[in-house]
């Protein structure tokens, strides 16, 4: 293979090409690995077929092989595989790949390609030097090298992962050992959401998956930021509890200590705000030496080169000290004594150790009221994407067959699968499911007869699992959960997640109980020890459960009303758990360990929910979804039907539905039996979402699913509903849904077996192709009862006219046909008009708006003047001049049944001709000529 020439057409591109060309293959591999994440996402966001065509033209790969691979793999997996294969193919293939990717996306707004190009352009040769520095580190004296090695070993010992709770798989599972390596940038991480934070993050995932994920791998946290036009010295990482912020830092520390990443930093100092909470007046020197006393003799030498230092501060949200990044009270010297805030802010503001790098973590809530403009990069960890979830599950079970079973179950259960984005909840879910997916039965099987379907069932099973591993009697267990539950409820109502000993005593919590550590964890790092629940949602579950353990009508009603009226919606899961526990089968999971749970509480909750549901007819769409989620947790279809009454019209247009929302809506639709209208326009649905809806879609009379990109695969699932023997679908809108002619095969087969469908709109798709004929064949079927067909802007051309004609010629039901915004003019257009003019053709309304009709083609329309049932004709926005006026006049006057003709925006028609055509209304009673 000869040298691959550059195809760049701009100076920036040529500069990048020259930079890559002068590198040896070792250096090229380093820079390729450095940008690997950006390359993968750039492939994912480009037109893959065009890229493969380019690479095949350079003899870099076999296009057909990779097209088949693209079909077999998920988009990210395919992109990752292609990027890896290119590297294996050698230097010229790497440069050619880079060349093609850049050329095909030269005008793209792709974040990852823009980042890559900008960093290469700004840093040039210096980037290679920085990468090599990250690999090899700075030269050190023998003594500093010795100290550094000791420091590495110390950090490894302090931050090596500790075993999590036993998974039941006869092994220990190390979470930070299995860090999945992805964090994502989010531009507005501190906005005040109207949703529960865990549901909000789950909702973001769909947007991330549908759009280009702005992500940073762990080795790129301090890379060039093109938005700020700098390499940030201070980076803030945010995320909800349990999402992996501390794990990220532990991973980074361990990788640095093992020589993997960031060797440009000769020393890393890992400090936790939990530890700093114990301190009052400090200096930077004293803080470092208290944590790393072995550095005492060499600390002065170490701090002489600040640019070689990285300080990591974990848990800003846990700080009890005031941290004001705009404060003027800051430290300027490593020996200067001040409060914790003065030292921390001094580092961030660069008055202390100018040039050092800093990495902070915090929950988003803490940052809402803070000015953090000194942090030039703010990132949010969004948790596991689908591929990370699968990998986590495989590593949890350490058994491929078992993990495949579990993953398959979760993919069919969107409630549980959605919450797998959070590592903490993924662990809970895997722990519970390990009771049901095992080679050998155990006593755990007695907890519930089948795997959980709802979030309430999941946490009921998890708490039952915790209780089953203690030897406490029911009375002691019930007593502790009563005390802990009321404290949890107090915390939920007042947005409190940390409790001191005084609060535990106030709620009579027995701190000597061996059950308490299984539910709450104690932090002794603060000046005053505090307690928090192991997982935040566990607090909300126990807060709901206590109303069934210690039922009082007044307390329950008060909590329901408070939770309902709370504007921030942080109590939504609490309400859902209350509703879920009203189901007797769910309560049964816990009763073997707690005794009877109140059925009166269940009745009160159902009464409240029924009253609450009466408001949903006027509720906003998002609120209606929340009510439906409560219904879903209850899993009582008869109760749902009772609450809905005769209300059967649902409009969620513009709501970005998550898979969780789709599962909840499917449950509601199935509960209804029949639904009059369902509008899901602009909901960003994907094929998997349609698959979730499919079991219930046949029950809907009018269904609109437009402006989504679920494509042919999604239509395949939808067609199962159209084929259903009890299908009720009367009208179906599928405009702008990413369909190709392949969808026509699925739709054709379904329509041939359907007796109910009367209107089908497929506008704004790309339907021309060999399979378009399958739809027309179905139109010819005696079973087809379609009365209106929308094919506006479906990329049909003259070559489709004969196929259209065959479908129309043999159809007995079609009355309205939309063909606007298609380039139909050509030699076969006459075939279409002939079929439309056939005496047996039933079409009454014909839309030919913007079909590029010109004067020389107009005579082809004249057979329509003999059509006895044509009442409406739209010829607007065509290229008609005065030469066509005689034909238009004859068509209008001779058509026996024509009532309306639209001729808007035919600007080349002379004014006199337009007036004359308009005046034809006086010659033909009942005629309307619409012309401007």
What does the pLDDT look like over 838-848, one tens digit per residue? 988 999 999 99
Does the pLDDT at position 734 exceed 90?
yes
CATH class of 143-383: alpha beta
Does the pLDDT at position 568 exceed 60?
no
Longest dimension (CA), the chain: 108
Distance of CA 840 to the CA centre of its chain: 51
* Contacts of residue 584, Cβ cutoff 8 Å, sequence gap at least 6: 599, 602
Q: Which pLDDT tens digit goes with each residue over 341-398?
A: 999 999 999 999 999 999 999 988 888 888 999 999 999 888 887 778 888 898 888 8
Beta bridge partners of 183: 216
pLDDT at 210: 59
Percentage of residues of the chain with pLDDT beyond 90: 58
pLDDT at 789: 97
Q: Which pLDDT tens digit goes with each residue over 670-681?
A: 999 999 999 999
Lowest mean pLDDT among 5-19, 209-223, 240-254, 887-901: 5-19
Average pLDDT over residues 514-525: 84
Domain ranges of the chain: 11-136, 143-383, 441-606, 645-871+886-895
**Is the Cβ–Cβ distance between 519 and 484 less than 8 Å?**
yes
pLDDT at 647: 86
Does the pLDDT at position 199 exceed 90?
no
Mean confidence (pLDDT) of the chain? 87
Does the pLDDT at position 667 exceed 90?
yes
Which position has the token pair 């909470």?
A: 277
Q: Which pLDDT tens digit goes with each residue over 434-483?
A: 988 875 445 444 567 789 999 999 999 999 999 988 878 899 999 999 99
- Residue 421: pLDDT band (50, 70, 90) is confident
Does the pLDDT at position 591 exceed 70?
yes
Does the pLDDT at position 59 exceed 80?
yes
Q: Which pLDDT tens digit goes with each residue over 143-168?
A: 999 999 999 999 998 887 544 433 33
CA distance linking residue 125 with residue 16, whole number of Å = 10
**Is the Cβ–Cβ distance between 438 and 170 less than 8 Å?**
no
In the chain, what is the straight-line distance between the N-terminal and C-terminal CA atoms, in Å?
A: 64
* Contacts of residue 211, Cβ cutoff 8 Å, sequence gap at least 6: none
- Residue 205: pLDDT band (50, 70, 90) is low
pLDDT at 388: 82
Lowest mean pLDDT among 406-420, 811-825, 886-900: 406-420
Give the H or E element holding residue 237: strand 234-238
- Residue 5: pLDDT band (50, 70, 90) is very low
**Is the Cβ–Cβ distance between 70 and 50 less than 8 Å?**
no
CA distance linking residue 392 with residue 421, whole number of Å = 10
Does the pLDDT at position 668 exceed 90?
yes
Q: What angle do CA 763, 768, 772 make, to 5 degrees?
A: 90
pLDDT at 164: 43
Does the pLDDT at position 202 exceed 70?
no
CA distance linking residue 837 with residue 829, whole number of Å = 12
**Is the Cβ–Cβ distance between 76 and 44 less than 8 Å?**
yes
**Is the Cβ–Cβ distance between 398 and 415 less than 8 Å?**
no
pLDDT at 723: 94
Q: Which pLDDT tens digit goes with each residue over 277-305?
A: 888 889 999 999 999 999 999 999 999 99
Taking phi first (over 0 means left), then psi (-120 to 50 degrees means alpha), and beta for anything else, what does residue 520 get?
beta
CA distance linking residue 708 with residue 685, whole number of Å = 5
Answer yes or no: pTM beyond 0.75.
yes
* Contacts of residue 174, Cβ cutoff 8 Å, sequence gap at least 6: 161, 162, 163, 164
CA distance linking residue 251 with residue 257, whole number of Å = 10
Q: What angle do CA 818, 821, 827 make, to 5 degrees?
A: 90
Query: Sign (positive/negative) of CA torsion 563, 567, 571, 577?
Result: positive
CA distance linking residue 236 with residue 360, whole number of Å = 5
Identify the DSSP state of 225: B
- Residue 265: pLDDT band (50, 70, 90) is very high
Lowest mean pLDDT among 42-46, 131-135, 514-518, 765-769: 42-46
pLDDT at 611: 87
The phi, psi pair for 500, rounded to 5°, reads -90, 175
Average pLDDT over residues 721-729: 95
The helix/strand count (H/E) of the chain reads as: 43, 23
- Residue 115 or residue 769, greater confidence: 769
Average pLDDT over residues 176-192: 53
* Contacts of residue 818, Cβ cutoff 8 Å, sequence gap at least 6: 761, 763, 788, 789, 790, 791, 792, 847
CATH class of 645-871+886-895: alpha beta
Lowest mean pLDDT among 209-213, 286-290, 571-575, 711-715: 209-213
Give the H or E element holding residue 543: helix 536-549
Percentage of residues of the chain with pLDDT beyond 70: 90
**Is the Cβ–Cβ distance between 742 and 711 less than 8 Å?**
no
Does the pLDDT at position 211 exceed 70?
no
Minimal CA–CA distance to 833: which of 846, 822, 821? Answer: 846
- Residue 638 or residue 38, greater confidence: 638
* DSSP secondary structure of 446-484: GG-SS---SHHHHHHHHHHHHHHTS---HHHHHHHHHHH
Average pLDDT over residues 658-668: 91
CA distance linking residue 691 with residue 714, whole number of Å = 7
- Residue 646: pLDDT band (50, 70, 90) is confident
Adjacency order of strands within the sheet including 530-533: 499-500, 530-533, 520-523
- Residue 14: pLDDT band (50, 70, 90) is confident
CA distance linking residue 464 with residue 445, whole number of Å = 11
- Residue 180: pLDDT band (50, 70, 90) is low
Bridge pairing between strands 357-362 and 309-314:
parallel
pLDDT at 181: 58
Which position has the token pair 């009355």?
A: 815
pLDDT at 419: 86
Average pLDDT over residues 735-740: 95
Does the pLDDT at position 567 exceed 70?
no
CA distance linking residue 471 with residue 669, whole number of Å = 44
Does the pLDDT at position 7 exceed 80?
no
List C-alpha distances in Å: 623 to 196, 205, 544, 657. Answer: 12, 20, 21, 13
- Residue 834 or residue 204, greater confidence: 834
CA distance linking residue 35 with residue 19, whole number of Å = 15
């Amino acid at each position: 293979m000869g040298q691959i020439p550059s195809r760049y057409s701009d100076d920036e591109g040529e500069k990048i090409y020259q930079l890559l060309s002068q590198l040896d293959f070792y250096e090229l591999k380093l820079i390729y690995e450095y940008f690997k994440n950006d390359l993968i996402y750039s492939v994912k966001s480009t037109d893959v077929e065009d890229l493969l065509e380019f690479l095949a033209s350079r003899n870099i790969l076999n296009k057909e092989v990779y097209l088949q691979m693209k079909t077999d793999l998920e988009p990210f997996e395919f992109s990752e595989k292609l990027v890896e294969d290119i590297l294996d193919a050698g230097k010229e293939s790497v440069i050619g790949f880079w060349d093609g990717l850049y050329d095909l996306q030269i005008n793209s707004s792709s974040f990852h390609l823009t980042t890559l190009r900008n960093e290469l352009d700004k840093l040039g040769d210096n980037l290679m030097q920085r990468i090599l520095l990250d690999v090899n580190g700075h030269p050190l004296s023998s003594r500093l090298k010795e100290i550094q090695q000791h420091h590495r070993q110390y950090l490894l010992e302090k931050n090596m992962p500790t075993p999590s709770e036993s998974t039941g798989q006869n092994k220990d599972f190390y979470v930070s050992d299995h860090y999945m390596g992805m964090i994502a940038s989010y531009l507005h991480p501190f906005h005040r959401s109207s949703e529960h934070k865990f549901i909000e993050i789950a909702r973001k995932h769909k947007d991330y998956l549908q759009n280009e994920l702005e992500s940073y791998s762990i080795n790129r946290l301090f890379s060039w930021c093109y938005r700020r036009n700098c390499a940030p010295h201070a980076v803030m990482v945010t995320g909800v509890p349990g999402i992996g912020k501390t794990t990220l830092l532990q991973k980074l520390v361990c990788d640095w200590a093992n020589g993997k990443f960031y060797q440009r930093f000769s020393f890393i100092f890992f400090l936790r705000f939990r530890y700093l909470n114990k301190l009052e007046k400090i200096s930077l020197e004293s803080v470092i030496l208290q944590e790393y006393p072995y550095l005492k003799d060499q600390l002065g030498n170490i701090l002489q080169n600040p640019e070689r230092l990285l300080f990591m501060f974990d848990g800003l949200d846990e700080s009890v000290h005031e941290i004001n990044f705009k404060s003027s009270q800051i430290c300027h010297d490593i020996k200067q004594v001040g409060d914790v805030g003065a030292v921390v802010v001094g580092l961030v503001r660069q008055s202390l150790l100018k040039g050092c790098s800093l990495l902070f973590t915090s929950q988003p809530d803490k940052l809402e009221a803070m000015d953090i403009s000194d942090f030039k990069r703010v990132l949010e960890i969004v948790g596991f994407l689908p591929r990370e979830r699968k990998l986590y599950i495989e590593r949890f079970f350490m058994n491929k067959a078992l993990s495949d079973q579990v993953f398959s179950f979760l993919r069919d259960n969107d409630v549980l699968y959605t919450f797998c984005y959070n590592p903490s909840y993924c662990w809970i879910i895997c722990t519970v499911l390990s009771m049901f997916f095992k080679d050998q039965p155990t006593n755990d099987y007695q907890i519930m007869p089948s795997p959980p379907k709802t979030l309430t069932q999941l946490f009921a099973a998890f708490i039952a699992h915790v209780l089953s591993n203690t030897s406490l009697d029911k009375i002691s267990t019930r007593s502790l959960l009563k005390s802990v539950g009321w404290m949890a409820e107090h915390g939920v109502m007042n947005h409190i997640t940390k409790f001191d000993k005084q609060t535990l005593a106030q709620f009579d919590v027995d701190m000597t109980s061996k059950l308490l550590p299984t539910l709450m964890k104690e932090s002794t790092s603060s000046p005053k020890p505090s307690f928090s629940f192991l997982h935040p949602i566990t607090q909300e579950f126990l807060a709901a459960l206590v109303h069934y353990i210690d039922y009082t009508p007044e307390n329950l009603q008060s909590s329901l009303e408070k939770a309902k009226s709370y504007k921030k919606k942080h109590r939504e899961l609490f309400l859902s758990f209350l509703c879920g526990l009203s189901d007797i089968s769910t309560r049964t999971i816990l009763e073997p360990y707690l005794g009877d749970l109140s059925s009166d509480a269940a009745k009160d909750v159902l009464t409240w929910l029924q009253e609450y549901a009466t408001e949903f007819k006027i509720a906003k769409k998002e609120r209606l979804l929340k009510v439906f989620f409560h219904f879903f947790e209850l899993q009582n279809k008869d109760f749902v039907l009772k609450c809905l009454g005769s209300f059967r019209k649902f409009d969620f247009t513009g709501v970005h539905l998550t898979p969780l929302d789709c599962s909840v809506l499917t449950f509601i639709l199935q509960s209804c039996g029949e639904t009059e209208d369902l509008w899901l326009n602009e909901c960003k649905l994907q094929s998997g979402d349609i698959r979730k809806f499919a079991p219930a879609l046949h029950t809907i009379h009018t269904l609109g699913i437009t402006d989504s990109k679920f494509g042919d695969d999604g239509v395949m699932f939808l067609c199962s509903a159209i084929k259903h023997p009890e299908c009720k679908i009367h009208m179906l809108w599928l405009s702008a849904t990413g369909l190709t002619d392949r969808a026509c095969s699925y739709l054709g087969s379904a329509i041939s077996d359907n007796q109910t469908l009367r209107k089908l709109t497929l506008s704004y798709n790309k339907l021309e192709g060999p399979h378009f004929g399958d739809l027309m064949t179905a139109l010819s079927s005696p079973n087809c009862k379609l009365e209106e067909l929308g094919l506006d802007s479906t990329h049909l051309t003259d070559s489709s006219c004969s196929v259209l004609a065959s479908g129309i010629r043999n159809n007995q039901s079609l009355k309205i046909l939309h063909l606007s915004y298609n380039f139909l003019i050509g030699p076969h257009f006459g075939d279409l008009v002939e079929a439309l003019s056939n005496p047996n053709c039933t079409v009454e309304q014909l839309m030919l708006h913007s079909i590029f009709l010109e004067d020389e083609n107009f005579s082809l329309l004249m057979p329509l003047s003999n059509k006895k049932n044509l009442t409406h004709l739209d010829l607007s926005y065509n290229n008609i001049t005065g030469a066509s006026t005689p034909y238009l006049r004859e068509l209008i006057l001779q058509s026996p049944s024509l009532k309306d003709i639209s001729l808007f925006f035919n600007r080349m028609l002379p004014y006199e001709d337009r007036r004359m055509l308009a005046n034809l209304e006086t010659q033909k009673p009942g005629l309307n000529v619409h012309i401007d």
